[in-house]
Structure 1
Amino acid sequence: MIKNIIITLISDDKPGVVEAVAKTISEHQGNWLESQLAKLAGKFAGVIRVQLDEAQLDALEHGLSSLKDINVQLHEDRSSAEQTTSIRILSFHATGPDRPGIVREISAALAQYSINLEKLDTRLSSMPYSGDPLFEAEGLMAVPEQIDKNELAERFDQIADELAMDISITED
């Protein structure tokens, strides 16, 4: 039986990490389907979706766990579960003064309207004139189809006001 699994990994950032993981997956007849990999603060982290024969699962897990200096975990992929609500994917970009808890505030405001973050990239920069910390976020969100576009625009204006941020939204 064919299984889809999710592999999470973290290691120090160094050449050869992806090659070692890809080689191990290939040695166990796994098919690397999709991934998100990134370097952050000297670490390399990723999430990989792999398809393989269930009979290879234990051997793959053993092979990945034996990789030197790479912390790997396997999880069952349940993404094939049927989605009950129609959604549309929107891109967003948000900027505002940095402060502790800002990601919690953004995610709570979105969750309040049943909006799911599908991708989130954040970074800190400096405001042009003052040099104060400027928080920037961009990503993708899944918005329930039943939310009217005008209502959605109003909700985001409200969220932007509440968080003292500039938020722009575009349909993909």
Structure 2
Amino acid sequence: MRHAVISFLGKDRPGIVDNIATIIKQHNGNWQTSNLRHLSGFSAGIIEVLVSEENAESLVSDIKNIEGLEVNVGVTHPLQYDNNTISLELTANDRQGIVGEISAVIHKQHGNLIKLASSQASAPDFGQAIFKASAIIAINGEEKIDNLVAALENISDDLIVDINV
């Protein structure tokens, strides 16, 4: 079995997800995980599909031929992480470059950013923009986890880090 990782972007219209799901089903693929979003009039997403060796090439071809979508597909064997994974919730005043600051710290502390979901909201009662993110990071060793959390908290005094090991 192979994993196909599909990313797409196109002007939002009804039926995009149904189109993709139908093609996956036609090729006996199994929709594994996904993150689909509507962003500023566009549909964007990333999907992981489990598919047999013999159906992988035709699945990729049909997905890439969906009209109106820019599609990238990578086909691989799934990776397993030997490291521990931790889940972090990050909250701070929003500012330009905050994701770069966070990702640089994770990299310098030998972490591998597995998943990042971020949003911006208005702070209740203050109206100031707040940055919120959920992250999953692969990192090996309790000491390295402690060092990572401390380094993240040192980015700025307004950054709050909640951790789940």
Q: Same fold (TM over 0.5)?
A: yes
- Find the aligned partners of 1:97 and 1:43 in 2 and give their Cα distance: 27
1:167 corresponds in structure 2 to 161
- Find the aligned partners of 1:79 and 1:34 in 2 and give their Cα distance: 13
1:29 corresponds in structure 2 to 28
Q: Show the 5 A alignment for 1:1-172.
A: 2-80=1-79, 83=81, 86-144=82-140, 146-148=141-143, 152-164=145-157, 165-171=159-165
Question: Is the alpha carbon distance of 1:74 and 1:162 closer, same or farther for their aligned partners in structure 2, counting shifts above 3 Å?
Answer: closer
Letter in 1 for 2:90: A
User: How big is the shift at 1:110?
Assistant: 0.9
Q: Which runs of 5+ in 2 are unaligned?
A: none
- Find the aligned partners of 2:24 and 2:151 in 1 and give their Cα distance: 46
- Find the aligned partners of 1:57 and 1:63 in 2 and give their Cα distance: 10
Contact 2:105 2:151 in 1 (8 A): no
- Find the aligned partners of 1:50 and 1:129 in 2 and give their Cα distance: 43
1:102-158 Cα distance to aligned partner (Å, 9 max, x none): 1000011011111122211111122334422211112222121x233xx63354234
How many residue pairs are counted as aligned between the two chains?
A: 164
Output the aligned Cα RMSD: 2.2
Q: Which runs of 5+ in 1 are unaligned?
A: none
Q: Report the structure number with the largest CA radius of gyration.
A: 1
1:29-61 Cα distance to aligned partner (Å, 9 max, x none): 323233222222222222222233434334323
